[in-house]
Amino acid sequence: MFLRGLITVFLMAFSGAIAHAEGLSDRTGWKIHKTSKVYKALIDDLKAAIKAEGLITVTQAGPTKAAASRGIIIPGNRVIGVFNNDYAVRVLALSTAAMIEAPIRFYITVDQNGTATLSYKTPSHVFAPYQDEGGAALMEIAAELDMRFGRIAAGAIAD
């Protein structure tokens, strides 16, 4: 009885050690780009495209390495926050509350087949809740950022 309980606990613990994420599907306000690139290459290409577009990688976070240090294996997963001071000053002049959304993030995930996907919420979607406060000028900034994020994504996913 004791041995059976011990085996059950072991199996339950081990089965939790491998976390599987589902792939991203279409969502309102998101752009999702499946690629043939591997995770590390897509991260490197995204960082280069961000720099080429004149924006800055402000933040990076991902649970993959930290989870591995705890014995949990999850597919590559990285969030990269992008902005620059020019946009920060312009947004703050229109809406203090809207700055909670900065930096705006790109999301890189590994698919089950080993390739990586690049996703992001469009800046116009991110800033839409603040339109009443920031007005048309805030949405113009968001539209500018939509174009820049589109160019960054195109550069990052290009072969």
Q: Which domains does the chain have, with CATH numbers?
A: 2-157 (3.30.310.70)
Residue pLDDT, tens place only, 19-55: 555 667 788 999 999 999 999 999 999 999 999 999 9
Report how far residue 152's alpha carbon sits from residue 122's, in angstroms, rounded to the nearest whole number: 12
Q: How far is CA 94 from CA 6, 19, 91, 137, in A?
A: 60, 42, 5, 8
Residue pLDDT, tens place only, 76-133: 999 999 999 999 999 999 999 999 999 999 999 999 999 999 999 999 999 999 999 9
The reported pTM is 0.85
